[in-house]
Amino acid sequence: MTEAASTRAARENARLEDGVRSETVVLSVRHLTKHYGARVAVNDLALDVRRGEIYGFLGPNGAGKTTTIRMCLGLIPPTEGQVEILGQDVALAGKQVLPRVGALIEQPALYLYMSGQNNLRAVGDALGGVTDTRVGVVLDLVGLAGRERDRVKTYSLGMKQRLGLAMALLHDPDLLILDEPTNGLDPAGVVEMRDLLRRLASEGKTVFLSSHLLSEVRQICTRVAIINQGRLVVESSVQELTRGQGEFVVSVNQPEAALALLREQSWGTRARMDGARHIITGAPDGQSAALNLFLVNAGFTPESIVERAEDLEEVFLRLTGAEMATEVQSERGSR
């Protein structure tokens, strides 16, 4: 292939890749930065959220999550950088593209003296084109059918959160941006919310989700971004993020003796007990087969060897440091 032909092929591949990207990336953030005086709340942030995925946006308190969300929704201007939704710059085409976004940010603004149904009607009138049929559909979706005529002041915190989600869904948006959507929900409500978001994603909607409930994030999110002090720490699939650090969980009949032997190996210095009979250890060349052979030859035939997956809480603590500990402990205490 000549140099000119090679250049043309490279340009064509780039054009095709850009075409695919424009079809699949619903929310794109580039070099997003926000200063408040001398304080940098968000620092050169870059994210891509794809159509049909549930994307977790995570980090310690004060990491810049809410500031980022507000910039994505055009509520505050960035100091630098760009937000694109459905291929359009929010700063330039916000009036055209933001109606295709549904948002639930912190506590929803509700008329407490009105019924849930009339709250939705009021929002629908402001949006335009929202029928009573659509109001009924979203009430059913969020589990408020049967309580729609009750005044909102009689609703629990969880019911108010559901009503806020119903408001976000009224105009059938392409993108949902949700900040702590399970706040105030009881365990059954959390499960119902999880199922609803999965159903919405399966129907082609994209969900951008900020939450501190790490166990929920692991169950529901396709990919996550972790930020700390305004900077992106990692953006990855949940599966890759929790894959572990090349360690295995081993079950043997004489765990104390096996543990002592493993700790004598260069690859097993970090071996440790996990429960009464399980050992967490590295392996020769990182291979389970090599670990099994080593133990068998040493007289410790394993009952099982399983690759260890990190808990998402461990990943957060490792990547963001002790700042996350308070949130993690509060979640563990609520289980």
- Residue range(s) in the chain whose domain bears CATH number 3.40.50.300: 24-241
Which fold would CATH assign to domain 24-241? Rossmann fold (3.40.50)
Per-residue tokens: 180: 């702590």
Q: Is the pLDDT of residue 267 over 80?
A: yes
CB 58 within 8 A of CB 328: no
Average pLDDT rounded to a whole number, residues 45-53: 95
| Torsion sign (Cα): 26, 203, 68, 63 | negative
CB 32 within 8 A of CB 80: yes
CA distance 63 to 41: 7
pLDDT digits (tens, 9 = 90+) for 3-39: 444 444 444 444 334 443 445 899 999 999 999 999 9
CB 138 within 8 A of CB 171: no
Tell me phi and psi for residue 198, to 5 degrees.
-65, -40
CA distance 26 to 50: 5
pLDDT digits (tens, 9 = 90+) for 240-265: 877 767 888 999 989 999 999 999 99
Beta bridge partners of 55: 208, 223
pLDDT digits (tens, 9 = 90+) for 297-306: 999 999 999 8
CA distance 116 to 114: 7
CA distance 268 to 265: 5
Q: Determine which of 164-168, 184-188, 249-253, 303-307 has the lowest per-residue pLDDT on average.
A: 184-188
For residue 323, give every residue at least 6 positions away whose Cβ sits within 8 Å of its Cβ, in sequence order, or none.
60, 61, 228
**CA of residue 141 relative to chain centroid, distance:** 22
| Torsion sign (Cα): 190, 191, 193, 198 | positive
Q: Is the pLDDT of residue 134 over 70?
A: yes
Q: Is the pLDDT of residue 326 over 90?
A: no
pLDDT digits (tens, 9 = 90+) for 149-159: 999 999 988 88
Of residues 154 and 314, the one with the higher pLDDT is 154
